[in-house]
């Protein structure tokens, strides 16, 4: 029986993707369509009017005055405060901006799939400008994040002028204070931000650059659940994360986003990664990506036809999807017993946290002075463990003292060291650009 790795040829698959992009201008991910069905039944103007009407009703109802619990007369309303009105205005602004915000347009995918980083950067920058001029400032902020990940100078989020319409909660990102939090609060913050949609994406990117493996893994997961193609450069890079669970989660998230540009890397991961769980995650991600692009632009018709869903699911199972693709059916077809997860794989998150705490304690005792000299010595000795530790210390230093050494390590033959150097450089950029 055919398996997913035998069916996916990256060059041919990308040609198929570009053919779909020329035929259709946009489509939504499965998760976004399920979470926001009303977005796809109304125009943006009609949706804005609906949100405004709901807001007016909430303000008209107002908060209720506190009365003794025995009181039987109707509870009187009190007028909303200035602060309550301002908070309500911010809620309305974000609701309207979130209209189809996670939708994947052909312009976004063309920028994501650009053959060179410079071309991708130029396309995301132009897209951000177009979105800003169309009053889609949340999408423009997300496009700015994509260009920042590709090397654009300056902060991920910056105010234009005094008339900037974005709420303070958007302009305050990314929050450097998060990096000063203890490990466990950072970890749970990375988990919870999946519920914030695109509005907290810059903060989530900062967490995805965290020195803690479990925080990164949580952030990779949340980025996949947010589901926007703007973050695929970070997740593609995370496929070389030295921590196995973080690497597996990055693969899963690329599958959730359905990034066709990650197909070649995922095929390589599925065939050659030393960890069986990472291989499995890559295979499932490939199945999701192939399924999504088979019907890009036509999912409205597919999802309203149980027969088409059933046929697609059967093909995916036959290709090695292991039953991991959720079926929105009351009577899903039986595909037999699903493949078991690898025995002994560590999902005990508390143990992971304890491991990271111990690493952090040991590194906090390391001297952070004379980093360039220490990099030179470790390179001369060809000591990868020390070099990885120095990359971590360089990211903590907040200075550019070791910038040249980090740039040199980006070409190191060991993937884990290349990744460590890239992460340190990105952290230094984030640290120096916030508030710029």
Q: What residues contact 66, with CB distance under 8 A and at least 6 apart?
A: none
The pLDDT value recorded for residue 37 is: 67
Q: How many CB atoms lie within 10 A of CB 106?
A: 18
* Residue 398, both tokens: 């907040």
- Single pTM value for the model: 0.83
Determine the average pLDDT of the residues in 242-265. Answer: 92
**Confidence check: pLDDT of 332 > 50:** no
Q: How many CB atoms lie within 10 A of CB 94?
A: 20
SS3 label, residue 26 = strand
The residue among 260 and 180 whose pLDDT is bigger is 260
The pLDDT value recorded for residue 7 is: 60
Q: What residues contact 193, with CB distance under 8 A and at least 6 apart?
A: 200, 203, 204, 207, 219, 222
Q: How many CB atoms lie within 10 A of CB 408?
A: 14
- Least confident range from 92-96, 165-169, 431-435: namely 431-435
* Residue 29, both tokens: 């991910």
How many helices and strands in the chain, by DSSP H and E? 23, 2
Q: What residues contact 107, with CB distance under 8 A and at least 6 apart?
A: 123, 127
Alpha-helix runs per DSSP H in 365-411: 371-381, 384-397, 403-409
Contact criterion met (CB below 8 Å) for 251 and 224: no
The residue among 143 and 396 whose pLDDT is bigger is 143
The pLDDT value recorded for residue 368 is: 53
Model confidence pLDDT, tens digit, residues 172-196: 777 667 777 888 888 888 999 988 8
Place 403 in a pLDDT band, splitting at 50, 70 and 90: confident
**Confidence check: pLDDT of 4 > 90:** no
**Confidence check: pLDDT of 326 > 60:** no
Round to whole Å and give the CA distance between 385 and 242: 12
* Residue 287, both tokens: 């199945």
**Confidence check: pLDDT of 86 > 80:** yes
Determine the average pLDDT of the residues in 289-299. Answer: 85
Determine the average pLDDT of the residues in 26-33. Answer: 67
Judge if the upstream peptide bond of residue 174 is cis by omega within 30 degrees of 0. yes
Model confidence pLDDT, tens digit, residues 377-398: 888 888 888 888 888 888 887 7
The residue among 166 and 77 whose pLDDT is bigger is 166
β strands within 218-264, DSSP E: none
The pLDDT value recorded for residue 42 is: 80
């Amino acid at each position: 029986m055919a398996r997913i790795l035998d069916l996916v040829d990256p060059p041919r698959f990308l040609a198929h993707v570009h053919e779909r992009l020329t035929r259709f201008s946009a489509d939504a991910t499965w998760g976004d369509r399920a979470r926001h069905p009303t977005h796809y039944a109304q125009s943006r103007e009609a949706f804005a009017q609906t949100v405004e009407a709901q807001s007016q009703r909430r303000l008209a109802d107002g908060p209720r005055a506190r009365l003794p619990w025995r009181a039987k007369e109707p509870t009187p309303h009190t007028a909303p405060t200035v602060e309550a009105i301002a908070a309500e205005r911010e809620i309305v602004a974000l609701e309207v901006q979130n209209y189809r915000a996670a939708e994947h347009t052909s312009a976004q995918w063309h920028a994501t799939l650009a053959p060179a980083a410079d071309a991708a950067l130029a396309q995301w920058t132009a897209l951000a400008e177009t979105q800003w001029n169309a009053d889609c400032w949340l999408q423009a902020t997300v496009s700015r994040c994509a260009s920042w990940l590709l090397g654009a100078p300056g902060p991920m989020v910056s105010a234009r002028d005094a008339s900037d319409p974005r709420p303070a909660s958007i302009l305050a990102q990314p929050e450097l204070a998060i990096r000063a939090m203890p490990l466990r609060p950072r970890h749970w913050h990375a988990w919870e931000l999946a519920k914030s949609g695109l509005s907290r994406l810059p903060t989530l990117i900062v967490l995805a650059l965290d020195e803690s493996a479990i925080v990164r893994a949580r952030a990779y997961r949340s980025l996949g659940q947010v589901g926007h193609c703007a973050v695929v450069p970070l997740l593609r890079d995370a496929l070389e994360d030295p921590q196995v669970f973080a690497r597996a989660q990055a693969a899963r998230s690329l599958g959730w986003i359905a990034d066709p540009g990650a197909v070649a890397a995922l095929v390589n991961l599925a065939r050659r990664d030393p960890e069986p769980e990472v291989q499995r995650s890559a295979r499932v991600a490939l199945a999701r990506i192939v399924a999504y692009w088979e019907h890009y632009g036509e999912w409205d018709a597919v999802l309203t036809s149980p027969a088409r869903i059933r046929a697609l699911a059967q093909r995916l199972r036959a290709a090695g999807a292991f039953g991991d693709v959720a079926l929105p059916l009351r009577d899903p077809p039986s595909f037999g017993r699903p493949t078991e997860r690898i025995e002994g794989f560590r999902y005990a998150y508390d143990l992971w946290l304890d491991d990271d705490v111990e690493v952090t304690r040991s590194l906090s005792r390391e001297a952070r002075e004379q980093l360039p000299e220490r990099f030179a010595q470790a390179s001369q000795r060809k000591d990868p463990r020390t070099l990885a530790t120095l990359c971590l210390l360089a990211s903590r230093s907040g200075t550019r003292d070791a910038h040249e050494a980090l740039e040199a390590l980006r070409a190191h033959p060991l993937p884990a060291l290349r990744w460590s150097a890239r992460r340190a450089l990105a952290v230094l950029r984030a640290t120096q650009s916030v508030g710029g």
